[in-house]
Amino acid sequence: MSDDPLLSLDDVSVHFESQNGLLDQFFRREDKTVRAVDNVSLDIEENDVVALIGESGCGKTTIGKTAIGLQRPTSGNVRYRGQDIWEAKDNRNPDIPHDEIRRSLQIIHQDPGSSLNRNKTVMHSLEAPLKRWQPGLTRDDRTNRIYAMLEYVGMEPPGDYANRYPHQLSGGETQRVALVRSLLMNPDVILADEAVSALDVSLRVEMMDLLLDLQDKFDTSFVFISHNLSNARYLASHSGGRIGIMYLGQLVEIGPAEEVLQNPRHPYSQVLKWATATLDPDQEHARQPPVRRIDIPDPVNPPSGCRFHTRCPEAREVCGSIEPELVNRESDSPDHLAACFRQYPEGEHEYWRSDPIEDVETVPSPAEADD
């Protein structure tokens, strides 16, 4: 049996060329390169759950789509069971055909209704993957399988739902149909891209419980994309999965859910924890947020060194010139990594001998702001 991870990203970068406007073209300004993802490495194992979170524009959706082969990386490699996805796509003598990889890596969008044909019934949308990937099934076989899956996700009676059109479904029901369609392909990995963010809180928990139940039943791995730390915590904690924190195109911390949340090692992870009131309601915003007063940097021109150093109250001069690597602190579990020089014991890194960055100003807490 191969020791390769189910899915492996090795030093992956994704850069986009932004088109200039008419004024920029008139003055012959060069197009800008948006560094959406820079040098991200990540392994996803069988029956795994990885929740990636961060601010809007941090690159979490881009890295998710790159992981399942929907976005070609600018550099680096993405491998499925040891097979480079893009070598298979380009038909360079792959050990695993690209069609098999495509079937094995699926996605559920934030707005599943947009991926369903509004002029076709649920049955028609769900039959399509079975016709393509399992052509030997009879019509009755397809119907029985679809009805069984609809029942499993709580859509009863299945015959009624199968004959509905997308506009006749609620948001939660539409999300369930999208999930069933993905599972009918027997995928190894499903990218859930903000898949519960449009639902209200009760439906959100119900949907995440369903994802956990299906993961256990079908041994499917999930890459869960969210801007909401509470959602990520719920899904990753209940599955024994990991949380990955992304900032400005880079993975700055990853590890077991409760370890990352209860003992965050990266200053940016501490910011996200502070901003998520439900994590510690007894101490909600009891102190100043651990962030300097400065706008989020432009991904076209990210800061040198540690990209968070312009906002970090713990930053020192070395943080602006040297980029930290993801490392483990001995007191943590082996798979809890953070890209921060403070991970190193005091005296064992240049950080501790470097001068603090001057004029560190934190945003006042809500109570102070009201004074």
What are the backbone angles phi and psi of residue 161, rounded to the nearest 5°?
-65, -35
* Nearest CA-CA partner of 292 in 209, 369, 363, 218: 363
Q: What is the pLDDT of residue 172?
A: 85
Residue extents of the structural domains in the chain: 263-371
Coil, helix or strand for 369?
A: helix
Contact 362, 369 (CB under 8 A): no
Contact 272, 258 (CB under 8 A): no
Eight-state DSSP code of residue 14: E
Rounded to whole angstroms, the Cα distance separating 42 from 80 reads: 12
Residues of the chain scoring pLDDT < 50? 1, 278-287, 360-371
Q: What is the pLDDT of residue 362?
A: 46
Q: What is the pLDDT of residue 365?
A: 37
Q: Where are the beta strands (DSSP E) in the chain?
A: 7-18, 32-44, 49-53, 75-80, 83-84, 105-108, 189-193, 221-226, 242-247, 250-256, 327-328, 337-338
Kindly report the pTM of this predicted structure.
0.85
Retrieve residue 141's tokens: 């076989």
Q: What is the pLDDT of residue 19?
A: 61
Contact 71, 59 (CB under 8 A): no
Rounded to whole angstroms, the Cα distance separating 14 from 97 reads: 24
